[in-house]
Structure 1
Amino acid sequence: QYYIGSVLNGGGAWPNNNKRATVQDWASQSAAYHAAAMRSDMAVKIPLIWGTDAVHGHSNVSGATLFPHNIGLGAANDPSLVERIGRATAQQVRATGITWVFAPTVAVGENRRWGRSYESYSSDPALVGRYGAALVRGLQGGLTGDGDVVATAKHFLGDGGTFNGVDQGENRATRAHMIATHGAGYYAALHAGVQTVMASYNSWNDVAAGRDYGKMHGSRELLTDVLKGRLGFDGLVVSDWNGIEQVPGCTKDHCPQAINAGIDMIMVPEDWKAFITNTLADVREGRIAESRIDDAVTRILRVKMRSGLFQHQPAESRFNGQTSAMDVSALAREAVRKSVVLLKNDNAALPLRAGQRVLVVGSSADSLSNQTGGWSLTWQGTENTNADFATGQTLLAALRQQLGEANVTYSVDGRGVDPSQFSAVVAVLGETPYAEYNGDVRFPAPLQHSQLHPADLAALQAVAGKGAPVVTVFYS
Structure 2
Amino acid sequence: MTIGLSPVSLTALTLLLATAATAQQPAASVAHPELWPKVAAQPKRDPAVEKRVEALLKSMSVEDKVGQIIQVDIGSITPADVRTYKIGSVLNGGNSGPYGDEYASPAKWLQLADEYYDASMARTGKGPKIPIIWGTDSVHGNNNIVGATLFPHNIGLGAARDPALIREIGRITALETAAAGLDWTFAPTLAVVQDDRWGRTYESYGEEPQIAADYAGAMIEGVQGRVGTKDFLAPDHLIATTKHFLGDGGTGGRDQGDTKVPEEVLRDVHLGGYPAAIEAGTQSVMASFSSWNGEKMSGNQSLLTGVLKDRMGFDGFVVGDWNSHGQVQGCSNEDCPQAINAGLDMFMYSGSGWKQLYDNTLREAKDGTIPAARLDDAVRRILRVKVRAGTFDRGRPSTRAFAGRFDAIGSADHRAVARRAARESLVLLKNEGVLPLKANANILVAGEAADSISQQAGGWSITWQGIDVPNSAFPNAQSIWKGIEEAVKAGGGTARYAPDGRFTQRPDAAILVFGEKPYAEFKGDVPNLEYSPGDKQDLEILRRFKAAGVPVVAVFLSGRPLWVNAELNASDAFVAAFLPGSEGGGVADLLFAGPDGKPRHDFRGKLSFSWPKRPDQYVLNRRDAGYDPLFPFGYGLSYAQPGKVGKLDESRPAGMAAATPGTFYGRGQTPPGWSIEAEGVTQSGVDRRAQEDSRRFVWRGAGQVAFTAPRAIDLSRESNGEISLVVEYKAESKPAGKLTAGLQSGGKTVELPIGNSISSARAGEWTRLAIPLQCFAKRGADMQAVTAPLVLRSTGAADISISDVKLDYVSMPMDACGDTP
The verdict on how the C-alpha distance between 1:179 and 1:48 changes in structure 2, with shifts beyond 3 A counting, is same
Partner of 2:195: 111
Q: Contact 2:290–2:297 (CA<8 Å) still a contact in 1? A: yes
Structure with the bigger percentage of strand? 2
Partner of 1:335: 421
Partner of 1:160: 249
User: Matched residues in 2 for 1:350 and 1:30: separation?
Assistant: 49
Of 338, 344, 349, 1:263 maps to: 344
User: Matched residues in 2 for 1:389 and 1:223: separation?
Assistant: 39
User: Matched residues in 2 for 1:179 and 1:399: separation?
Assistant: 45
- CA shift, 1:451, in A, is 2.1
**Code of the aligned partner of 2:359:** T
TM-score when normalising by structure 1: 0.94
Partner of 1:189: 277
User: Matched residues in 2 for 1:452 and 1:92: separation?
Assistant: 40
- CA shift, 1:418, in A, is 5.4
Greater shift in the superposed pair: 18-27 or 44-53: 18-27
2:286 is aligned with 1:198 = yes
User: Matched residues in 1 for 2:168 and 2:553: separation?
Assistant: 31
The two structures, once aligned, show a CA RMSD in angstroms of: 1.5
User: Matched residues in 1 for 2:400 and 2:160: separation?
Assistant: 32
Greater shift in the superposed pair: 124-133 or 40-49: 40-49
Larger Rg: 2
- CA shift, 1:318, in A, is 2.5
Partner of 2:57: none
Q: Contact 1:24–1:322 (CA<8 Å) still a contact in 2? A: no
**Code of the aligned partner of 1:318:** A
**Code of the aligned partner of 1:79:** P
2:120 is aligned with 1:34 = no
Partner of 2:359: 277
Spell out the pairing of 1:126-275 with structure 2 (5 A cutoff). Answer: 126-141=210-225, 142-163=231-252, 165-205=253-293, 212=294, 214-270=295-351, 271-275=353-357
* SS of equivalent to 2:127: coil
Greater shift in the superposed pair: 73-82 or 333-342: 333-342
Greater shift in the superposed pair: 392-401 or 369-378: 392-401
Partner of 1:208: none
Q: Contact 1:51–1:99 (CA<8 Å) still a contact in 2? A: yes
**Code of the aligned partner of 1:414:** G
Q: Contact 1:156–1:200 (CA<8 Å) still a contact in 2? A: yes
Unaligned ranges ≥5, structure 1: 206-211
- CA shift, 1:65, in A, is 0.8
The verdict on how the C-alpha distance between 1:50 and 1:36 changes in structure 2, with shifts beyond 3 A counting, is same
2:136 is aligned with 1:48 = no
Of 58, 74, 78, 2:142 maps to: 58
Of 340, 345, 370, 1:288 maps to: 370
| Per-residue deviation, residues 26-49 of structure 1 (Å, max 9, x unmatched) | 111111111111102353210111
Q: Contact 1:147–1:317 (CA<8 Å) still a contact in 2? A: no
User: Matched residues in 2 for 1:381 and 1:411: separation?
Assistant: 24
User: Matched residues in 2 for 1:202 and 1:286: separation?
Assistant: 28
2:182 is aligned with 1:98 = yes
Q: Contact 1:223–1:263 (CA<8 Å) still a contact in 2? A: yes
Spell out the pairing of 1:383-394 with structure 2 (5 A cutoff). Answer: 383-394=468-479
Partner of 1:410: 497
Partner of 2:600: none
2:489 is aligned with 1:401 = no
Q: Contact 1:413–1:462 (CA<8 Å) still a contact in 2? A: no
* SS of equivalent to 1:50: strand
* SS of equivalent to 1:428: strand
Q: Contact 2:221–2:280 (CA<8 Å) still a contact in 1? A: yes
Partner of 1:424: 509
The verdict on how the C-alpha distance between 1:116 and 1:66 changes in structure 2, with shifts beyond 3 A counting, is same
- CA shift, 1:182, in A, is 0.5
Q: Contact 1:106–1:121 (CA<8 Å) still a contact in 2? A: yes
- CA shift, 1:228, in A, is 0.7
User: Matched residues in 2 for 1:30 and 1:315: separation?
Assistant: 8
User: Matched residues in 2 for 1:143 and 1:277: separation?
Assistant: 36
The verdict on how the C-alpha distance between 1:383 and 1:10 changes in structure 2, with shifts beyond 3 A counting, is farther
Partner of 2:717: none
Pairs aligned (count): 462
| Per-residue deviation, residues 191-210 of structure 1 (Å, max 9, x unmatched) | 111000000011111xxxxx
- CA shift, 1:157, in A, is 0.2
**Code of the aligned partner of 2:428:** L
- CA shift, 1:351, in A, is 2.1
Q: Contact 2:103–2:462 (CA<8 Å) still a contact in 1? A: no
User: Matched residues in 2 for 1:322 and 1:237: separation?
Assistant: 30
User: Matched residues in 2 for 1:71 and 1:62: separation?
Assistant: 23
Partner of 2:446: 361
User: Matched residues in 1 for 2:140 and 2:88: separation?
Assistant: 26
User: Matched residues in 1 for 2:429 and 2:358: separation?
Assistant: 54
User: Matched residues in 1 for 2:500 and 2:96: separation?
Assistant: 35
User: Matched residues in 2 for 1:296 and 1:148: separation?
Assistant: 24
The verdict on how the C-alpha distance between 1:134 and 1:374 changes in structure 2, with shifts beyond 3 A counting, is same
* SS of equivalent to 2:381: helix
Partner of 2:25: none
* SS of equivalent to 1:267: strand
The ranges of structure 1 where at least 4 consecutive aligned residues each deviate by more than 4 angstroms after the TM superposition are none
Q: Contact 1:143–1:308 (CA<8 Å) still a contact in 2? A: no
The verdict on how the C-alpha distance between 1:57 and 1:453 changes in structure 2, with shifts beyond 3 A counting, is farther
- CA shift, 1:450, in A, is 4.5
Of 6, 11, 14, 2:97 maps to: 14
- CA shift, 1:394, in A, is 1.2
**Code of the aligned partner of 1:339:** S
Greater shift in the superposed pair: 466-475 or 399-408: 399-408
User: Matched residues in 1 for 2:119 and 2:241: separation?
Assistant: 25
- CA shift, 1:438, in A, is 0.3
* SS of equivalent to 1:292: helix
User: Matched residues in 1 for 2:504 and 2:514: separation?
Assistant: 20
**Code of the aligned partner of 1:84:** E
Spell out the pairing of 1:278-317 with structure 2 (5 A cutoff). Answer: 278-313=360-395, 314-317=397-400
User: Matched residues in 1 for 2:300 and 2:103: separation?
Assistant: 40
User: Matched residues in 2 for 1:143 and 1:246: separation?
Assistant: 35
Spell out the pairing of 1:437-448 with structure 2 (5 A cutoff). Answer: 437-442=522-527, 446-448=528-530
Partner of 1:209: none
Partner of 2:533: 451
